[in-house]
Structure 1
Amino acid sequence: MSMEQFQNNELMYVDEDHFDVTSFEEDGGFSPRSGSTFFDDDSVDSDFDDDFELSKPKTDTSALEAKNGKDIQGIPWERLNFTREKYRESRLKQYKNYENLSLPHEDLEKECKEVEKDNNFYKFQFNTRLVKSTIVHFQQIAVLSEHQQDMDSFSYGMLRNLLWATSKHDVYLMQNYSVMHWSPLLRRGKEVLNAAKPIVPALKHPNSQTVKRVQISTMTVKDNLMVAGGFQGELICKYLDQPGVAFATKISTDENAITNAVDIFRNPSGSTRVMAANNDAQVRVFDASNFVCLNQFTFPWSVNNTSVSPDGRFLAVLGDSAECLIADAQSGKVVSNLKGHLDYSFASAWHPNGQVLATGNQDTTCRLWDIRNLSESFAILKGRMGAIRTIRFTSDGRFMAMAEPADFVHIFDTSSDYSRGQEIDLFGEIAGISFSPDTEALFVGVSDRTYGSLLELNRRRYDPYSECMF
């Protein structure tokens, strides 16, 4: 698995073992650095606490407050020595996107689709800082050669599939060693998985075992099943309507066995399956009813992401390679190589019609592929600053959203051949994005020590009556 590198000796804090970067400086000007977060050189704490107590709802921002001029993230720009526009300008100039493969990018921008970005498909509804997703940064454990004993030899991972909406009123997101449920309707959260203590699975299964203190690397939720992966190759499965954990195990003993991605899908016969992709170049498929491992596929490189087509027939496999693979989901046999990206890939998603696959890459692009003609991508969509880390389609296929590691989420209208877009501009690392299944809401998880939050945007329906009322 490729990892995103922090420059300029950035500080990080995650739980008790790592560092998380801080946000803004109030008095000393701004310090936008390369990498994907904000920090102060002298302390891991913010220079000001914004006079907020995070136990109180005044940290929230409503649509009405935003309409009256309040920053949607609650950032008090009027108290800072720089404007939002100036900070954005500096971020765009100084942000350094991490690359694994130094291939020439000169012609890439010319190939990218021209997109009209000033649309407003989803409008800001609410932002709460009472709950936030946490991106787990980790230092890659590697054997360093004698020529690699400097800071450039170390890199840090940023897993982004850490937020899922199962309805407009139910959002699940990762917080350090736990998974939280947040109700946007009640504005109340509760812990549904605590992985900081040993997990004893309830299901008696030959391969099920107690796992200790799991640092969660990825997660997904579908229907009533939540699946999480860990940095030591763990896999945890929990039914949301039942206490405890149904199944837990370490699916690999490899010392670099991080579970990079998990997926829940239905095979062509309608049976539910769980898929796990790991750094050991393996993809494993489990029966979701009894958690028996049904298949194990081996690929030439660490697998960062997988996604199964809506009909359950095809498997997209992305990882530490500039090529992406399409395999038979039942046998694992590779049926096509997708060529065009310039770096490692981390995200993919299928259009609900099953004919279009979107792939996200560290070369800062998302490529769109027609499954009926995979010789080349039919469109290339460009990000603003960094890699494309997360991609989601609405359930009706009308919109596709893609998120960069920080600051930008892009929404595209698929009915316009992806030529009409909306750009959501914020500050902070993006832990994940998710459309609600009914397509009415888009949630964005922001990870920042001070301004970490959950953003909710609602689909704009263009009702002339409501438009004149609000």
Structure 2
Amino acid sequence: MQNGRVTDTTSAQARKGKDIQGIPWGRLSITRTKYRQTRLEQYKNYENVTNSGEASEKGCKSTEKGGMYYEFWRNTRSAKSTILHFQLRNLVWATSKHDVYLMSNYSVIHWSALTRKKSEVLNVSGHVAPSEKHPGNLQEGFSQTQVSTLTVKDKILVAGGFQGELIFKYLDRPGISFCCRTTYDDNAITNAVEIYNASSGAVHFMASNNDCGVRDYDMEKFQMSRHFHFPWPVNHSSLSPDGKLLVVVGDNPEGILADAHSGKSIHDLHGHLDYSFASAWNPDGRMFATGNQDKTCRVWDARNLSKSLAVLRANLGAIRSIRFTSDGQFMAMAEPADFVHIFDVTRGHEKQQELDFFGEISGMSFSPDTEALFVGVWDRTYGSLLQYKRSRNLSYLDLLP
């Protein structure tokens, strides 16, 4: 801390004992250990199903802690990451080990870990309207959009809003290419968006909504190409790497594995006890994971869905975000606050690394080359962007198959 101002923390400073978030524990009336204990005892997990977090404890996989897969590199205070909805935490996206995009109030900002500079990419505080004309474009645009979810990939940004808004922008072009509203239902929050390349080569994105729908948009034609309906509000969906299967989770303890072309259910996913808000596919195309408010992440094998492969438990609360590295070796699951758990997939989730800090988690993202992990932390005083780099100091035991 300099002149009363909390400063960034580097890995060199952390090794010398400085708190990674710059929290001056020596000047406070409580130690870090005591405060951690208090948080574990007093944090209230949000549940739609009463006592789901307590009931789910039985049957969880016991995992060994102490893995060191990603090392703390830097905490950046100037890249302030924020959230707008306590259940939706997909607001941080890395496009390289140096480049990350995140929501900061009403702005999408780009942070360069290389130049240590940030720039505004999209501002939604005022009126937002498309600069291009397409048949499906809502030319009048939107005003004061509350961004609930975000995704960035291949120079494309898609932001979803609290009233079903969708904003599509090419990062290497000026202006906004596409705006649409999925529905005029005020409760139809856009919960998740995913960009992918279709077999035709065209760029598509898929949006999940509280109105029980999943919609697929063809960005070559700038039109919706498919609209699937499910029996409950959808909180998240994930497309398999080959584009054939779709994991759908929402306001129901059971998830669905569906045909990505027809939307028809293939198999129900039994095991969770509360509503789910996260899902992700391993790049191998066989394994996927779902995160639930019952404080567990379930790992599944698409070839045998009679039961989950593993049930992994959180410390504080719901699993709000799940990510796999592009090589499929590691899976990270984020709680609402304070903890991100990284599991070694190749060792059957037997061992994990636990990232421990303080503050609400707005999102997390591995870089495409697996070299970096970014975690957005929202807090009035210590809000920041945590950056970790892939460890090259794995022990002999960590390298065993």
- TM-score with structure 1 length normalisation? 0.81
2: CA distance, partners of 1:104 / 1:360: 13
Deviations 1:354-384 (A, max 9, x none): 0001000000000011000011101101011
Shift of 1:328: 0.8
Which position in structure 2 is the counterpart of 1:88?
Answer: 36
Q: From the superposition, tell whether residues 103 and 407 of structure 1 become closer, same or farther in structure 2 (CA, over 3 Å).
A: closer
Q: From the superposition, tell whether residues 98 and 417 of structure 1 become closer, same or farther in structure 2 (CA, over 3 Å).
A: same
Shift of 1:271: 3.0
Q: 1:330 aligns with which of 255, 261, 281?
A: 261
Q: 1:371 aligns with which of 298, 302, 320?
A: 302
1:59–1:130 CA contact under 8 A, matched in 2: no
Which position in structure 1 is the counterpart of 2:70?
Answer: 122
Shift of 1:159: 1.6
Shift of 1:102: 2.1
Which position in structure 2 is the counterpart of 1:69?
Answer: 17
2: CA distance, partners of 1:379 / 1:331: 29
Q: From the superposition, tell whether residues 50 and 102 of structure 1 become closer, same or farther in structure 2 (CA, over 3 Å).
A: farther
Shift of 1:106: 5.7
Shift of 1:426: 0.3
Root-mean-square deviation (Å)? 1.5
Shift of 1:52: 4.2
Which position in structure 2 is the counterpart of 1:451?
Answer: 382
Aligned amino acid, residue 342 of structure 2: I
The count of aligned residue pairs is 393
Q: 1:422 aligns with which of 346, 353, 367?
A: 353
Which position in structure 1 is the counterpart of 2:60?
Answer: 112
Kindly indicate whether residue 160 of structure 2 is the aligned counterpart of residue 160 of structure 1: no
1:173–1:179 CA contact under 8 A, matched in 2: yes
Shift of 1:200: 1.7
Q: 1:184 aligns with which of 88, 113, 133?
A: 113
Q: From the superposition, tell whether residues 120 and 314 of structure 1 become closer, same or farther in structure 2 (CA, over 3 Å).
A: same
Higher strand content, 1 or 2: 2
2: CA distance, partners of 1:299 / 1:99: 22
Q: 1:241 aligns with which of 172, 184, 204?
A: 172
Kindly indicate whether residue 319 of structure 2 is the aligned counterpart of residue 319 of structure 1: no
1:318–1:346 CA contact under 8 A, matched in 2: yes
Which position in structure 1 is the counterpart of 2:84?
Answer: 136
Q: 1:301 aligns with which of 202, 218, 232?
A: 232
Shift of 1:207: 2.6
Which position in structure 2 is the counterpart of 1:172?
Answer: 101
Which position in structure 2 is the counterpart of 1:152?
Answer: none
Q: Runs of 5+ in structure 1 lacking a partner? A: 1-48, 138-156, 465-470
Deviations 1:251-303 (A, max 9, x none): 11112111111111233444321111111111110002232100111111111
With CA pairs under 8 Å and 6+ residues apart, which has the higher RCO, 1 or 2?
Answer: 2
Aligned amino acid, residue 182 of structure 1: W
Which position in structure 2 is the counterpart of 1:410?
Answer: 341
1:356–1:370 CA contact under 8 A, matched in 2: yes
1: CA distance, partners of 2:200 / 2:303: 23
1: CA distance, partners of 2:325 / 2:394: 20
Which position in structure 1 is the counterpart of 2:128?
Answer: 199
Q: From the superposition, tell whether residues 296 and 132 of structure 1 become closer, same or farther in structure 2 (CA, over 3 Å).
A: same
Aligned amino acid, residue 357 of structure 2: L
Q: Runs of 5+ in structure 2 lacking a partner? A: 396-401
SS in 1 for 2:64: coil
1: CA distance, partners of 2:382 / 2:45: 22
2:189–2:210 CA contact under 8 A, matched in 1: yes
